Amino acid sequence: MATIRDGEKQSRYVLSGPPLTEAEVAGADLPLASYLVQKLAAHGHRVLQGDTVAVCIGRSALFAPALLAALCSGAVCAVVNAALPHESLHRVLHELKPVAVLCQPQFEKSASDAKPADCPLQVLGSAESVADAQQLLMRSAQGLKADNTAPAVALLSSGTTGHPKIIRIPRRTLAPTVMFIPPNQWVSLARHCPEDRLRSALQQVRVCMTGGAALKAEAHAWIEARTGRPLTQWYGQTEAFPLCMVVSRQAPAPHGSVGRVSAGMQAKVLDLQTGKHLGPGVDGELCFKGWGFSEEYTDKEGWVHTGDVGHYDADGNFYVVDRVKELVKYRGVHVSPSELEAWLLGHPQVSEAVVVGLPHDEDQEHPAAFVVLAQGATVTPDELKQLVKEKACGSEEKLLHGGVFLVESIPRVATGKVSRGQLRRALLERVTGRA
């Protein structure tokens, strides 16, 4: 039985730091969003309505409070992928010219090295919630000028055709009760969240949307069945934030479709090899023309060549299959990674799956899969290869000749899209020993 004297001896080896200041104690008692509003306000004239605050955060619960705090302070919230290479992060932060940078603790060094020298850095932490949190945030927000045309957030394009571009989105675009998340996150929500809780949480959402990657009809229908809400596939480009496709004014699109051509827009599908126009049901490059695009993104005739592969049906509904650059070419035959990914995701023990091409001297490329398994999963790579073989029904080009690799996570850019370039490099290093 321990005695008081034993306790006194042990206490000698407990080291304590200096006491918290009054300001630190007050900050610890505030919710994170409110705390950040106060920290931003502490910069005084440095943070004015319309100034830019860069939020360098990965997939973290810290993102929402940081976004809320920036918006309530009147700043334009620039969402920056914290995992960008140093050169890209440096270029983006210097182009944004932020008055402050917010980041997670693990990105403190990279953000500090990349930001402008005179720009303060705020490392995010956590804080307890208090009853007056809502009032503090509301007071901050109510002081803003009512200009819904002013920018609210700055997003980076995916950078699939070069360096990411900075796209500023006005406040009015964010005002509707719309939930927009990538397909992989919808799948994760539907698979891991109890159905009653998921349905309850989505009751107040007016429109459920997804985009940024192809969503197959089977997965589309399954998500709607689990959530009890219709899910609309959005299609467009960051450079032309207005939608290419109709998402509300016409009849609902079939599962897997992104809808019909919007008013004032034109569309065509071109053969990937010859450039000739294609008819219904034939995959090719999707091209659009209309009022929503800037001339700097169009060809001489005003057409935007999206780099997306897809087709339209007899009723004019469009279906996006893949990106031109993401197609795997096996012995001259184009293979759609999203089709193979959908087969893998159909396995109940698979949480995420991404298929890329492994260069091959004779066959051009071999499809290979990176797979994240659900907790407690027992399925093996060989069993997943067999699953795809059964689904392929004799199509040699669709087999996973490059192998199946189990990983803990899939690298993604800030918009939620898969960083396939990073996966290809990892695949080369892993399989061939060369980058």
Q: Which CATH number covers residue 286? A: 2.30.38.10
Residue 79 in domain: yes
Q: Which CATH number covers residue 422? A: 3.30.300.30
Q: Do 151 and 213 have their domain in common? A: no
Q: What is the pLDDT of residue 142?
A: 66
**Full DSSP string of 400-415:** -TTEEEE-S---B-TT
Neighbours of 148 (CB within 10 A): 12
Neighbours of 101 (CB within 10 A): 25
Task: Kindly list the distances between the CA atom of residue 194 and the CA atoms of 201, 352, 366, in Å, as whole numbers in the listed order.
Answer: 11, 19, 38
Q: Do 137 and 101 have their domain in common? A: yes
Residue 15 in domain: no
Q: Do 426 and 365 have their domain in common? A: yes
Residue 186 in domain: yes
Q: Do 136 and 271 have their domain in common? A: no
Residue 181 in domain: yes
d(CA 77, CA 180): 17
Q: Do 356 and 420 have their domain in common? A: yes
> Strand 364-373 and strand 350-360: pairing?
antiparallel
Q: Do 167 and 183 have their domain in common? A: no
Q: For residue 333, how many C-alpha atoms fall within 13 Å in the half-sphere facing its CB?
A: 11
Q: Do 113 and 148 have their domain in common? A: yes
Residue 198 in domain: yes
Q: Do 123 and 26 have their domain in common? A: yes
Q: Do 163 and 187 have their domain in common? A: no
Count of domains forming the chain: 4
Q: Which CATH number covers residue 170? A: 3.40.50.980
Give the residues of the chain that fall short of pLDDT 70. 1-48, 125-148, 157-164, 171-175, 237-251, 291-294, 414-416, 432-435
Domain closes at, from 141, 174, 207? 174
Domain closes at, from 219, 234, 249? 234
> Strand 333-335 and strand 328-330: pairing?
antiparallel
Q: Do 404 and 344 have their domain in common? A: yes
Domain that holds residue 372: 327-431
d(CA 285, CA 299): 14
Q: Do 292 and 267 have their domain in common? A: yes
Residue 337 in domain: yes
Q: What is the pLDDT of residue 251?
A: 67
Q: What is the pLDDT of residue 364?
A: 92
Q: What is the pLDDT of residue 37?
A: 65
Q: Do 401 and 423 have their domain in common? A: yes
Q: What is the pTM of this model?
A: 0.62
